[in-house]
Amino acid sequence: MQNHTLSIVVPCFNEEDSLPLFYREAQKAASELKTLLGYRTEYIFVDDGSSDSTLAILRELHETDNDVHYVSFSRNFGKESALYAGLKASHGEYIATLDADLQDPPSLLPQMVQFLEEHEDYDCVATRRETRRGEPPVRSFFARLFYRIINKLSKTEIVDGARDYRCMSRKFVDAVLSLKEVNRFSKGIFSWVGFKTHWISYENIERVAGKTKWNFFSLFRYSLEGIVGFSTVPLVFASFVGMLFCLLAFVGIGFVVIRALMFGDPVAGWPSMICVILLMGGLQLFSLGILGEYLAKMYMETKERPMYVVSEAE
């Protein structure tokens, strides 16, 4: 039997209803992992500024189980920061990240660790959803659209349906932690660092309790983080559009001058002129918006603020 450790990193935000259910299921997987491979399991829960009794439950779990550890943020810093904090606090040879709502089934953990044990050339086992059954159709449509767009714009491939549920080697995690950017998009970071990854697919699973913390607006902002963080194509697109319309403007000026010289300058065409002005103004604002997104990210990075502030940690 080996004497290795699996670290399970679990970001939590208002998960008081899910945590007891998650811990029970995770313990079953930990028991199987110990029997199968002799692995000890440690839990690292990251309380992302919850306003319910999540932190109190984590304290109770720690008191009854020495393998349960927790980090609590001073406020809500977001799941990306929680993932980073959990990875940083982990000590195991292998590290798994998954959600507390049981949409990521802990029962897969023994299979994931065993694969990495048997295939030393792999450093990560990741999961993806085969279907989006149970998800609102509008949300599914925009999710698929996002993956198509970002894979067209970015050199970093992001698998459609990829979850944050994965099991990684220490080498893989150290590479992820070496990226210190504040504006993080973990799905892109996991792909960017490279290493061989084995994918496991499973059917979409609904939350066991509580409500999702992701709405359409938050998902839209998250998708922008991914596109801006892993592609500069929007900047190229803005430059291309600007050059194209400059060329059209010069052609238009030449047309107006020639028409005035040949036929005079009757007062006509005001509707079409207003349409052109509105179009040009809209394109300029759109391009400035793209530039603003990149400048905003640069501004936040140059501040060098920490990704999170810890108020309590075991």
Q: What is the DSSP string of 15-55?
A: -TTTHHHHHHHHHHHHHHHHHHH--EEEEEEEE-S-SSSHH
What is the pLDDT at residue 6?
92
What is the pLDDT at residue 195?
85
Any idea what DSSP says for residue 193? Answer: T
What is the dihedral sign for C-alpha 250, 255, 258, 264?
negative
Alpha-carbon distance of 22 to 154, in angstroms, equals 35
Alpha-carbon distance of 128 to 202, in angstroms, equals 7
Tell me the mean pLDDT per 10 residues along the chain, length 314: 79 88 91 88 91 90 91 88 90 90 87 89 86 62 65 66 85 89 78 85 65 57 61 65 68 66 61 64 70 71 74 78
Cβ 193 vs Cβ 176: under 8 Å: yes
Strands of 64-122, DSSP E: 68-73, 94-97
Cβ 47 vs Cβ 16: under 8 Å: no
Give 264-307 as a DSSP string: ---S--HHHHHHHHHHHHHHHHHHHHHHHHHHHHHHHHHHT--S
Alpha-carbon distance of 18 to 208, in angstroms, equals 7
- Main-chain dihedrals φ then ψ at residue 125, nearest 5 degrees: -120, 120
What is the pLDDT at residue 172?
92
What is the pLDDT at residue 42?
93
Tokens of residue 70, six digits: 């927790």
Which residues have C-beta within 8 Å of that of residue 182, sequence separation ≥ 6? 300, 301, 303, 305, 307
What is the pLDDT at residue 209?
58
What is the pLDDT at residue 242?
67
Alpha-carbon distance of 51 to 83, in angstroms, equals 19
Tokens of residue 203, six digits: 């059917």
pTM of the model: 0.70
> Would you tell me the crossing angle of helices 137-153 and 216-230 to the nearest 10 degrees?
10
What is the pLDDT at residue 1?
41
The residue among 24, 67, 22 whose CA lies nearest residue 44 is: 67
Cβ 204 vs Cβ 128: under 8 Å: no
In terms of C-beta distances under 8 Å and separation of at least 24 residues, what long-range contacts does 236-240 make, across chains too? 237/290, 238/286, 238/287, 238/290, 238/291
